[in-house]
Amino acid sequence: MTGLPSPGAAWLWQAGRFSLDLAARPLVMGIVNTTPDSFSDGGRHGDVVAACAHCDRLLAQGADILDIGGESTRPGSVPPTVEEELARVLPVVAHAVRLNVPVSVDTSRPEVIRAVLDAGADIINDVRALQWEGALHTVAARPAVGVCLMHMQGDPATMQLAPAYSDVAGEVRAFLRQRLQAAESAGIAASRIVLDPGYGFGKTLEHNLALFRAQDGLAGLGRPLLVGWSRKGTLGQLTGRAVNERQAASLGAALAAVARGARIVRVHEVAETVDALKIWNAAGLGAAT
């Protein structure tokens, strides 16, 4: 042992029960939304059954990771209570953990983090990069749990009102570097961490595109990139399509994100993305460089 990381070490992600190899091909994270669309509070039997069935469907479609979320972070949204979030998420996590696939949970709250890790979740995907009181240490206390640290300017309730940067790519990079260091200082090994520029989170069309074009530069932080473009507003602005018509744009964005260095793409359309990446990989573009 020399103490130096092996050349492939930068492409391994320790994610709970799994050690994910990001070197050979990009991975697909399938989105499982447990937030209520209309009048319910979520967590009702019907909502839970539907979300569990969605986990099964995405796994059959070839998802490498399932990402379960109980807080809508769409622009203008307000967080649910801890009780609401737990009622939505916990039964779905318990189901997904039994499917023997890496299970990620999209949450920021230490109470929810603790409960889903007790239920066997492998990854905490935090759009607030573990900045909420207690979150960092709750994750650090579990030796193998994976984490995605994402950049957001402001909070979901107000983030799209007036996003402002002097150098969006530089500021996102500096933020991610600082959160990576904070996580490592708290005892979270770098091998457990991936980073995310947070497209659409406190960013205008121009900010998102400047960041996208500079995305390769984030690879210099030394950890793999996870990217979520699926159905986002910027794709609507670029194509003129409503949210339910953005499948092709989402697919194009996922491939462009991989071309710009992403190793995990977070998507709604798992089957289509898996197929598109099969062609990408067959063309010799899949291996990390």
- Residues in contact with ligand 7PJ by the rule CB under 6 A: 73, 106, 125, 127, 148, 150, 196, 198-199, 226, 228, 232, 266
Determine which one of 25, 246, 260, 266 is catalytic.
266
Residue 163 or 228: which CB sits closer to ligand 7PJ?
Answer: 228
Q: Shortest distance, CB of residue 3 to ligand 7PJ, whole angstroms?
A: 31
What is the four-CA torsion angle of 94, 187, 17, 114, rounded to 10 degrees? -10
What is the four-CA torsion angle of 67, 71, 74, 76, rounded to 10 degrees? -170
Helices 82-97 and 110-118, axial angle in degrees (round to 10): 20
Q: Shortest distance, CB of residue 67 to ligand 7PJ, whole angstroms?
A: 7
Residue 2 or 159: which CB sits closer to ligand 7PJ?
Answer: 159
CA angle 122, 26, 280 (to 5 degrees): 155
Please state the φ and ψ torsions of residue 249, each to the nearest 5 degrees.
-65, -40
Q: Shortest distance, CB of residue 268 to ligand 7PJ, whole angstroms?
A: 8
**Whether 278 is catalytic:** no
**Whether 266 is catalytic:** yes
Strand 12-15 with 18-21, pairing: antiparallel
* Radius of gyration, alpha carbons of the chain: 18
Rounded-to-integer distance, Cα 231 and Cα 248, Å: 9
Residue nearest to ligand 7PJ (CB): 228
Rounded-to-integer distance, Cα 22 and Cα 264, Å: 8
Residue 178 or 278: which CB sits closer to ligand 7PJ?
Answer: 178
Q: Shortest distance, CB of residue 83 to ligand 7PJ, whole angstroms?
A: 21
Determine which one of 223, 232, 246, 263 is catalytic.
232
Which SS3 state, helix, strand or coil, does residue 120 take?
A: coil
Q: Shortest distance, CB of residue 112 to ligand 7PJ, whole angstroms?
A: 14
Residue 86 or 211: which CB sits closer to ligand 7PJ?
Answer: 211
Residue 106 or 122: which CB sits closer to ligand 7PJ?
Answer: 106
Where in the sequence numbering do the catalytic residues fall? 232, 266
